[in-house]
Structure 1
């Protein structure tokens, strides 16, 4: 009892330090090991033995601590654990795995202390072992959760990036490319494919895949029993987690998985619509697969469904954008094509332009066949063309029905045939082969019908234009002088008329030349204000009036005064411009007057061209300006060339007329030695070309016979005929007899042809010089070139050309220097034999 009378507490309680120390060691909540410095176990408690299943007898003295570790931990013990313990005399919380007696592994945490003797030598190692099984499980759970969070974060980042890409993708194709890239980084998918729904054709179209060589990746009807079609019809997510599940529900998918080595597949519908107030529409299916069997977590499924919704909304937006852009592009194409066709006025040119517009912008091949104009016209572009027999059948069908025959899958032709109609008449057909359009077939058909309507109207307008143009041309040419004087050795004349290229109406430009008396020649070029039938009629009246008023007594000034009085009765002739001249063929005197017209251009044998600027006054019937009519006379040397022309030759918008005069004088001088035949046409082609907006009228007159004919022609065989015409007129003007004329023409033509063929065979810019003189007893012609006669058979002496020349001429000489010169003589009135 205590001093207070209560129980003696010290007698009833046993303090912990009163416990048996050996029992505490043996049954401690952790394992104890005592080992020698080499690791041999010398003592172990019961707790460690219970954990590992080993017996005390099997361990003590027989096993080292590192012998109880796994292979990897043995290496760690040797390389880290033991060296660290030796250096620090202690180690703490080293994670190792001990191999139990039954072979299972026990995760442990180890604390060891190295005790040393008096001399510092290691004496023994005391080791405390804690069971880390639950801690390892907890760590694994934490690690798995962390990995799942990281994977979820990765999926969210991928989804955010894909959503950003989808928001920036304006077209359906770009949306599909963005969606098909999502499953591989987000879910570690092996391959991905995307199918889009074509509502008009009721099909699923394979549009993109990361590995199109694997699986069953092709188009299919939406009613197909295949897995992708089933998901598109039902609109719900399908996860096929194993081959057995695929074989049970979708045999086609199982076969595809077996060929590609895939073990699980996800089929995700791409949908739009909330489902609350609007129906959910399936726009496509995203299919992605895995190489191993895969079960998806709830988080992964939520992300996958969200991906399907975002992709569906992006597809819906892109389709609206694609449709709007396609309509805008088609409208722009129709507008551009209409404007382009209007630039051409001829039927054939419009047909060609139509084909050029269609290929390659909307088709890879197109052909126009016309039933009007030249028989059998066909203009096609692109390649290769379809089967001609089948195309002919479709053309006949479209023409008879006056309805388009649209291309259909598997029809063998692969192109659409459109009848081109206008005002109830079929003008022809337009056949074109286009890339198949996955969507918008009906809109595309409406576009093609609109194209055919516009093209038909454009071609009909061109046909009417050509018809009216032919009538107008016939009318205008009937009003022009058709029978200018010719055959007189005292002069030669060349005329040219070219109507405006961009105007249907006839114009008021005209030329005329006639003999007032046997020795007086009148030449005139004029231009009536305005266009159309009225201008052409007025032009005809002025032309007739000039012929009626011209006389040997009055002269040019008097004639213009009479034309002023003529305008009082014919008001439409007012402001017409006229240059009128009379040439005295005996005295070679030229008398002229200009009523508001451009000045004549004179080029004498010596010197440069000069404009005749005297005797100028106001246009015919003008009420302003200088109305006094004067005339001027100039004596023309033999061989002078006089050019009369209208303003269409020199006037251009955006260019001073003085510049036009300079160009004309330069081009006229350059042709001084060219044959008269073809001179006006060549001059107009150089000055105007084909794209001109005004009529062009020229009259070139060569007066008298040149004492010496000198011509230079290009190395073009077509120039020989022009030279022959010029040389013939010159010889006739010198009263050379006909036999001599024919012989000289033959020899000269052969010599020039050989110079072109052999001397300039590699030089299309070569020039052949021809000169001719006439004496009382002979004609001498010299043909010179500066070419190089190389190779066998190119020598005159060995060719047939020499034989022809020698048969025609009396004397033939050759001079070989820098080129070749052939000099030929023929006696007048003689016989070369």
Structure 2
């Protein structure tokens, strides 16, 4: 008791026994070692001996502390432990693996203190050794857990990226590409392949693989016994962990696993829902991926694998819906554009060719269109070889016989769809297609192909009817135009051209006429009746007849138009018709003309530029507005003049001013000053009017008088030789050259021009050839000049039959090489 009466605390803290210091040292909860500065053990406790299995005699005085360490520990002892101890006199919690007597290792933590003497010299090292086996095990468990967490986090990140890729992939192909790339970064897989189920063809189709050379990577029937087909049928996940397991359950995998060295294969069904809830779940495909060696997947990895299958299946389902919607939109657009493009062409054969061009290669890699009505023929795409002709003919016969499409049957060697083209109850022909390979297949597009055949059949039938009606309209149009133009009179030459509107089936109101009022007075007229159709054509015929009835020697152009005004009062459809009427005095060489609301005639004199005859103008027939006074104008016509009458369709365009049209016509007419008369009006129309022009075009050209000398310029084209020959013949006839002189001149001139084209312009199709002919009372002389480059001397180049004919036909033949090549030919008008 204490002085205060309380308990004595010091008495209560005293132990009832005293610890033996030697016992505390020997059986301490840690090992004790005392070593000399060189590491030799001089003292060790029993605890260390019990941990390591050594005896005291084996260690004391015989072993150094470093000798008890593992190889790595010995290196660490030399490089870190000893230097630190010498510098700091102590080291704390250094980890060493101590090699026990039975050669096992003991994980330890070591604390050492270096004791020094009075002179600071090292005397001894006292070392405390703690057993770290449990701690090391705990640390390994922590490290393993950390690695597992990092791997799971990495897989989650990869899966998130894959889900993002799947969400951004709109098509089935892009989804499959994203899925097949997933196993390698997510699970360190060596390779992967994806297979999709084709319901229509009852196949499992190999879509993509990161290593197509391994495994059975090809299509297979859904009923196949192969591993992929069985997993697709069951819809559950399978992990084949070894070759032995594969041999037992999936024998088809054994060879590929053995050859590739991949002993673990995962077969993952791609489903639209969780695999353990089969109700409402659909398997769309299988993802197969493998590992090098044997790999055991953890439960967490298996959960991620199943989640990948669900996400991929849902993405595929969404992509298929998107693909179907996109394809329906593309097909609808294709049908609309095809219908529009076919409507742009009005003829049967161009429409048929356009149809084949549309079909290949957008929906088919080969197509053949066989027409049985209208213009018979076969149109086919030349980019791919056609299938067997006999099999195709048999298929076409089945299609046309029943008037229904024939789709390819399973195993059909043709693989072609034959569509009968029908319209208004009749079969026009067949369209045979070999479809571009597609997931949907041909059967899935049955409705689209039938719609295509219906539209194509109707379009071709309309084109056939258009051509038929067009031919009727053109025949009617020609019958209403002027008959044969006057010819055979050397004092004038006539050339006319009529071109109907490119897209109009109705007859038009443009017309021309030329007739002799007397033997010395020629009348020419071009007119245009307002409107189209039978009524306009009827009015056109009535006006033409009225002009012929009213024309006469004492009448003249002005009075004739006044008579027409009275006539159209009784012919209502003739109101506002326009007429350009002219009379030519062939003896005096004088032109008298008038224009009732019509385009002014264009006169090309022998010398100088062409000019429009702008006087003698008045309002259209029957008009109540404008200048209705009918006037006429007289113009002198020198020999060799050309007069062109035309309708507004030749120069009027919506996208340019009328003045520009007049300018273009004047330029082109002047350019053809020396062109042969034959084909002149047709050439002007071809140059100025497009084929799809929406207005009729009518031209009438008159060449007045016989030229003293004929001067013509021709293009380096053999087609022009015939035109020149006709022009030269008329000119020679006009000058009274007899046939026995005229015919040889025509032959020699044609051969000379042909030589110039062949030799002078063999490399220049744009060259020109000038022909000048003169007539005297004694002879006819013709000069043919080209500016090309002849190879060698003229006699060497043109020594063939052409030069022989020229020499035999003409009295004199000379060559001038001073400026190009000129052939000078002369023929006497009297007997040779």
- State the TM bucket, normalised to the shorter chain: over 0.9
Worse-superposed segment, 199-208 or 666-675: 199-208
The alignment partner of 1:123 has SS state of strand
Distance in 2 (alpha carbons) for counterparts of 1:463 and 1:424: 15
Counting matched residue pairs gives 831
Match of 1:45 in 2: 45
Report what 1:537 is aligned to.
538
**How far apart in 2 are the matches of 1:792 and 1:150?**
94
Cα distance between partner residues in 1 of 2:463 and 2:736: 52
Q: Conserved in 1, the CA contact under 8 Å of 2:356 and 2:367?
A: yes
Mapped partners of 2:734, 2:663: distance in 1:
33
Greater CA deviation, 705-714 or 542-551?
542-551
Go from structure 1 to structure 2 and tell me whether the alpha carbon gap of 1:273 and 1:482 turns closer, same or farther (over 3 Å shift): farther
> Structure 1 residues 118 and 769 mapped into 2: Cα distance closer, same or farther (>3 Å)?
farther
Deviation at 1:785, TM superposition (A): 1.2
Residues 236 and 796 (structure 1 numbering): CA distance in 2 closer, same or farther, change over 3 Å? closer
Secondary structure at the residue paired with 2:501? coil
The question of whether the paired residues in 2 share the 8 Å contact of 1:29 and 1:47 is answered with yes
Structure 1 position 88 matched with structure 2 position 88: yes
Q: Which residue pairs with 2:236 in the alignment?
A: 236
Whole-angstrom distance in 2 between the partners of 1:785 and 1:172: 69
Corresponding residue of 2:446: 445
Q: Distance in 1 between matches of 2:475 and 2:531?
A: 19
Q: Name the structure 1 match of 2:481.
A: 480
Q: Deviations over 1:59-104 (max 9, x none)?
A: 3333332222222222222222222223222221112212222222
Asked if the contact 1:793–1:799 (Cα under 8 Å) also holds between the matched residues in 2, the reply is no
Report deviation, 1:5.
14
**Residue-by-residue CA offset, 1:422-474 (whole Å, 9 max, x unaligned):** 11111111112222222265441110100000000000000000011111111
Aligned to 1:224: 224
| Cα separation, partners in 2 of 1:255 and 1:794, compared to 1, 3 Å | farther
Of residues 719-728 and 275-284 in structure 1, the stretch that sits farther from structure 2 once superposed is: 275-284
Does residue 1:521 correspond to 2:552, yes or no? no
Following the alignment from structure 2 to structure 1, what is the Cα–Cα distance between the partners of residues 89 and 807? 130
Q: Which residue of 2 aligns with 1:108?
A: 108
The answer to whether the 8 A contact 1:758-1:794 is kept is no
Question: Residue 166 of structure 1 aligns with which residue?
Answer: 166
Q: Does the 8 Å CA contact 1:796/1:802 hold for their aligned counterparts?
A: no
Please report how far the alpha carbon of residue 792 of structure 1 lies from its aligned counterpart in structure 2 after TM superposition: 8.7
Distance of 2:483 and 2:390 partners within structure 1:
49
The separation in 2 between residues aligned to 1:5 and 1:611, in whole angstroms, is: 153
Aligned-pair distance for 1:484?
A: 0.4
Alignment of 1:550-589 (within 5 A): 550-589=551-590
1:124 partnered with 2:158: no
Cα distance in structure 2, aligned partners of 1:284 and 1:791: 79
Whether 1:30 aligns to 2:47 is no
Q: Which runs of 5+ in 2 are unaligned?
A: none
Task: Evaluate the alpha carbon distance shift between residue 45 and residue 790 of structure 1 in structure 2; reply closer, same or farther with a 3 A threshold.
Answer: farther
Deviation at 1:757? Answer: 0.9
CA-to-aligned-CA distance 1:593-622 (integer Å, 9 cap, x gap): 111111111111111111011111111222
Determine the C-alpha separation between the residues in 1 that align with 2:157 and 2:725. Answer: 88
1:13–1:693 Cα change, 3 Å: closer
Partner residue, 2:407? 406
Shift of the 676–7 alpha-carbon distance from structure 1 to 2, 3 Å rule, reads closer
CA distance in 1, matches of 2:789, 2:186: 78
Cα gap change, 1:518 to 1:3, in 2 (>3 Å): closer
Give 5+ residue unaligned stretches, structure 1: none
Q: Distance in 2 between matches of 1:76 and 1:593?
A: 125
Residue range with higher mean Cα deviation, 720-729 or 32-41 = 32-41
Show the counterpart of 2:289.
288
**Distance in 2 separating the partners of 1:205 and 1:236:** 19
- Greater shift in the superposed pair: 75-84 or 774-783: 75-84
Query: What's the CA shift string for 1:554-580, capped at 9, x where partnerless?
Result: 111111112112212221121111111
- For residue 4 of structure 1, report the CA deviation from its aligned partner: 13
Structure 1 partner of 2:305: 304
SS at match of 1:286: strand
- CA–CA distance in 2 between the matches of 1:299 and 1:428? 64
Q: Distance in 2 between matches of 1:812 and 1:731?
A: 19
Contact 2:790 2:797 in 1 (8 A): no
Secondary structure of 1:699's counterpart equals: strand
Distance, in Å, in 2 between the alignment partners of 1:730 and 1:4 is 167
Judging changes above 3 Å, is the alpha-carbon distance between structure 1 residues 379 and 300 closer, same or farther for their aligned structure 2 residues? closer
Structure 1: how far apart are the matches of 2:45 and 2:14?
A: 24
Q: Report 1:189-588 matches (<5 A).
A: 189-273=189-273, 279-439=280-440, 441-588=442-589
Q: Distance in 2 between the 1:779 and 1:291 partners? A: 102
**Aligned pair in 2 of structure 1 residues 24, 459: CA closer, same or farther (>3 Å)?**
same
Counterpart-to-counterpart distance in 2, 1:327 and 1:658 = 51
Moved more, 445-454 or 312-321: 312-321
Cα distance in 2 for partners of 1:362, 1:830 equals 75
Distance 1:792 1:774 in 2: 30
CA distance in 2, matches of 1:700, 1:361: 50
Contact 2:791–2:797 (CA under 8 A) maintained in structure 1: no
Distance 1:13 1:591, change over 3 A: closer
Q: 1:505 to 1:5 in 2, by over 3 A?
A: closer
Distance in 2 between residues matched to 1:768 and 1:490, nearest whole Å? 26
- Aligned-pair CA distance for 1:324: 1.2
Quote the residue 2:620 is aligned against. Answer: 619
Query: How far off is 1:20 after superposition?
Result: 3.0
Distance in 2 between the 1:77 and 1:717 partners? 108
**Partner-residue secondary structure (3-state), 1:360:** helix
**Residues of 1 paired with 2:658 and 2:797: CA distance?**
50
Relative to structure 1, the CA distance from residue 232 to residue 534 in structure 2 (aligned partners, 3 Å threshold; closer, same or farther) is same
Q: 1:790 to 1:35 in 2, by over 3 A?
A: farther
Alpha-carbon distance change, 33 to 671 in structure 1, aligned in 2, over 3 angstroms: same
CA-atom RMSD in angstroms:
2.5
Q: Distance in 2 between matches of 1:459 and 1:7?
A: 126
Q: Is the 2:368–2:378 Cα contact (8 Å) retained in structure 1?
A: no
Listed one character per residue, the Cα deviations across residues 494-530 of structure 1 (whole Å, up to 9, x for unaligned) are 1111111111111111111111111111111111111
Aligned position for 1:787: 788
- Residues 399-441 of structure 1 show CA distances to partners (whole Å, capped at 9, x for unaligned) of 2222212234532212221111111111111112222222265
> Is residue 77 of structure 2 the alignment partner of residue 77 of structure 1?
yes
Q: Secondary structure at the match of 2:115?
A: strand
SS in structure 2 of the partner of residue 42 of structure 1? strand
Q: Which moved more, 1:394-403 or 1:819-828?
A: 394-403
Query: SS at the partner of 2:404?
Result: coil
Deviation, structure 1 residue 7: 14
Distance (whole Å) between structure 1 residues aligned to residue 591 and residue 3 of structure 2 = 173
What is the CA–CA distance in structure 1 between the aligned matches of 2:71 and 2:755, rounded to whole Å? 103
Moved more, 708-717 or 392-401: 392-401
Distance 2:797 2:7 in 1: 160
Stretch of structure 1 that moved more, 476-485 or 16-25: 16-25
- TM-score, with normalisation over the residues of structure 2? 0.96
Shift of 1:661: 0.6
